[in-house]
Structure 1
Amino acid sequence: MAITFYPGPSKVYPQVAHYMQDAYTQGILSVNHRSAVFMDVCQRSIELLKEKLHIPADYSVMYVSSATESWEIIAQSLVEKHSYHLYNGAFGAKWREYSAKLRSKSEGYAFGLNEELQADAVYIPSEAEILCFTQNETSNGTQVNNTTLANFSKGYSDKLIAVDATSSLGGITLDFTLADIWFASVQKCLGLPAGLGLLVCSPRALKRARQLGENDHYNSLLFIQENIERYQTHYTPNVLSIYLLMRVMENVDEIGMLSNRIKQQAADWYTFFHGREDMKPLVGNPGVRSDTVITIQADPVLIGQLKEKAKQEGITLGNGYGAWKQNTFRIANFPAITTEEIHTLQAFLNRQIE
């Protein structure tokens, strides 16, 4: 079987194959999504997510189709006029772009690849209702850490804070109390097939949604919340994916243990590339490097050769993305990827300069 380091969709936990068979055997694939059986699965999945990821008990966990659907939900249901986006890569920029299609006053601040955001050094318009961060920017391998989020949360306590955690939720410890809205998809750190998103909202976010009273869309936040309070979904959901999520969360370590492993593996990766002339991290500032997406810069010709040789050896490397499409490749550092697989890739990369 090929080893994939693609940063999403990425490797699924091998146990998923058995869980899928169990789902078929138990009749989960045919269950009515308004039935008690589904509601039990829905509830159990949410309880496990809160337990294993340390999501506050009073936060609401909802199921959506993808993380990118959350961009739309947030703009529709939590913004009256003005959102403000802080970003340094393609996915943060796309979030701002799509928000602006729904709320014309949405704007943002594009910061540098190696820049550490400082809450007291960024101008935030007083009329901004919500601050939007991409915690882990998958396109370039940067991240906004908990300390930075805490500074913005404290400095702008009158505003909601929303965080795209697509490439980090389930892989590193996130302090959910620092923001009002978190969202992600399951095909990265949660080790599941693509097709399900998670939207996590604080009581303050839900209060804001009720104040705005936006209920014009089928995926309006109030309608989603109304259903999840009964452990149901607003539309026919990906029942299999929710079941698989429940099974995976039953068996993974709690996030503190996972986070320690992922951060150590990230440190090992950056040490591996340190001092090399042929391949080096795109992000020069260690303080903003991602723990879950390792982005490596190299000559485009070398990258093409690496990917082709890796493919021949049953290894899939992640392509570059956006402005860095031609001169980088990306390595997923997600929990489902084993130490043995990491060593296999490192041995392969070492052989390329022998």
Structure 2
Amino acid sequence: MEVPEHKEIRELARRFLSERGGALRAYEEEEAFPWPLVEEMAELGFLGVFVPEALGGAGLDFFAYLALLEEMGGWASLRSVLSVQQSLVLTPLLAYGTEAQKARYVPRLARGEVLGAFALTEPEAGSDAASLKTRARREGDFYVLEGQKTFISHANVAEVFLVFAKTDPEKGAKGITCFLVERGDGVKTSPLKGKLGLRAADTGMVFLDGVRVPKDRVLGKEGEGFRIALSTLDTGRISLAAGAVGLMQRALDLSLAYAGERKQFGKPIAQFQLVQEHLAAMKLDLEAARLLTYRAAWKKVKGEPYTLEASLAKLFASEAANRVAYRAIQVHGGYGFFEEYEVARLYRDARILTLYEGTSEVQKLIIGAHLTGVRAFA
């Protein structure tokens, strides 16, 4: 059962979307980052929901964060900003950062004064993240980073980057370290345009050419980076599942409204059995995904292992979102094929959910490893 704080943040998000959600279309069309909307979300406290008030956040719980992501899920380019900032950047900072690191970065990130990025993926290291090529060599009190990252959310708008690099290539995954790198350290970036969905969300490449990072900006311990990445992705998968739930809810709401208004053969199409079949299947996927998401979140907040539950939620919710978006197009018929109707954007935005933060295939391997005790990959 939701507590008043959860209901309040849902209502705040609904008011924001009612007043400003329509403005996203112009940014989507231009593939431009919606800075004004992001700044407004920051003013509402949306970028630091579960961050303690003492560190500049709203001081709410993880379920309040999921409630916000659900409400924002139908506007995926905006939801993405919230997920990256909080699940992928603030979560590991709060969990592994020193007091000095937290004081330096968390308040500014939580208030939305700066954006952060999670720089793990590389051109030759996607699902096989442990094979990354970026290197970090020690030079006195600094590390010098060399390499490049790709498909990085917030690459061109972030000021703070969590960069994963190998400090000891001979140790494989155990030789990976996470660094807190600032754009001013010499980071170069370039945008990646032409995405199928999330067209207003920033994505790009990150170039590290002799970037010098002070030793006190290692997050966690040297060699602990891969563990930090995996634990962060567990949280990220829950947040993506919540966003998928929100996308499904939006698709269902739009489909119900359209089915009640659109008439064929002299009556609303909502009266036709096959249209009702679509709507029923959408509702089933939505509610099943929501329950899996909240089950994973409950284990997380109780401090129990939740990797399996996070993968189950992410796998089901992301695949279900694609099914629901497909059915929403079917309910809208030919009109759903045109960008004038919002379901077209939902259909495009749903597709990425099965790919980033671990493909559906990777989730199946994680689940299989938990079931059998045998890993399909090293």
The TM-score with structure 1 as length reference comes to 0.26
Question: Using CA pairs below 8 Å that are at least 6 residues apart, which structure has the higher relative contact order?
Answer: 1
The TM-score with structure 2 as length reference comes to 0.25
